[in-house]
Amino acid sequence: MTPTPREMDSQQPLLEVRNLVKHFQVGGGFFGGRPGIVKAVDGVSFSIQRGETLGLVGESGCGKTTTGRAILRLEPPTSGEVIFEGRDLATLSEAELRGMRRRMQVIFQDPYSSLNPRMTVGQIIAEPLAVHGIVPDRAARAERVHELLRRAGLLPAMARRYPHELSGGQRQRVGIARALAMEPRLIICDEPVSALDVSIQAQIINLLEELQAEFGLTYLFVAHDLSVVRHISDRVAVMYLGKIVEITDRKSLYEDPQHPYTKALLSAVPIPDPAVEAEREHVVLGGEVPSPLNPPAGCVFHPRCPIAVAECRTAVPELREVKPGHQAACIRL
């Protein structure tokens, strides 16, 4: 039997990002201000296999959210390639891109602002089904909406409610149902649980995992919470000032972090147990993340790095394999 095209490309990653760059021009406009370039994403490369979850972690301003937006072309990348299901998105026509977008959905951090307050939950989920002609028949569409709500852990009766009548966790479930409606292959989850209370966070994380198993979804999970990222990810990439500083599988990253920034990040996460905390060694990182308008020369992390040497001020470290399957960007390793 000859393999179908899908089986053939199943060896290929679902998403491949090559040297992605997103720079923003600031200042110099009508209101003046010093013109400059914010290097939000500065040469990021990674790939995600089908059914896999890649966690993308880092602190605010590291470029993790912009990376997600650039992949979706919500912010057209400055340069670099985004290859989804074997096709470079930059080469697609508008119509082709629209079709492709169906297959890559996004769930946002703040379900409050990503749902239209004047539409009922049912309308919010039904709209893309109608617009993309996925379920053209009205009655069938209502049935599909109910099914999606159930799948996201909500009662079908919720379809008649408005977003403001729902709790934060319920709104996030609506956001998930809306993403699922498009039958996507890839979902970019941008801080999907950070605005939720801890008892609700676990509900949503479990839901995302169930849906992944059921529909064979692939996730790019963008978050700052390292404990949550460890729980949900197969592989993890750590970003700092627009660059990936370390990327490897979950186990290797958390059990044997290599980059000094990753080590400091992990050490800064408080463990909910005073007995453990009392014994733990804490590396408190000095200073703050420099402005991406004017990133340091050499290694961007060198001003805060506990093991920096003179060379770090000039040499830009390449992301390279420091252990089998474990890449880090540090010349000291």
Residue ranges in contact with another protein by CB under 8 A:
59-60, 167, 169-170, 197-203, 205-206, 209, 224, 226-228, 230-231, 250, 254, 264-277, 282, 284-286, 288-289
From CA 204, how far away is CA 153, in angstroms rounded?
9
DSSP H helices in the chain: 5-8, 64-71, 94-102, 121-131, 138-151, 168-181, 198-215, 226-232, 250-255, 260-268, 274-279
DSSP per residue, 122-150: HHHHHHHHHHTTSS-SHHHHHHHHHHHHH
Q: Which is nearer to another protein, 135 or 208 (by Cβ)?
A: 208
Name the minimum Å distance from CB 177 to another protein: 17
| Token output for 172 | 């996030």
**Looking up tokens 């079709």, which residue turns up?**
99
Helix (H, G, I), strand (E, B) or coil at 229: helix
Q: At closest approach, how far in Å is the CB of 203 from another protein?
A: 4
Shortest distance, CB of residue 184 to another protein, whole angstroms? Answer: 23
Nearer to another protein, 53 or 135 (CB): 53
CB of 240 to another protein, least distance (A): 10
Q: Considering beta carbons, is residue 213 or 310 the nearer one to another protein?
A: 213
Residue type, 195: A
Tokens 């053939």 -> residue: 8
Please report where in the chains the tokens 């989804």 appear, as a residue.
84
Task: Decide whether 49 or 203 has the Cβ nearer to another protein.
Answer: 203
Which lies closer to another protein via its Cβ, residue 101 or residue 171? 171
Least spacing, CB of residue 191 vs another protein, in Å: 13
* Nearest distance from C-beta of residue 9 to another protein, angstroms: 30
Nearest approach, Cβ of residue 13 and another protein (Å) = 24
C-beta closer to another protein: residue 62 or 145: 62
CB neighbour class for 332 (10 Å; exposed up to 12, middle 13-18, buried from 19)? middle
- CB nearer another protein, residue 59 or residue 110: 59
Two tokens at 68?
Answer: 């997600």
Other Cβ atoms closer than 10 A to 179: 24
Chain length of the chain: 333
Chain centroid, CA 32 distance in Å: 33
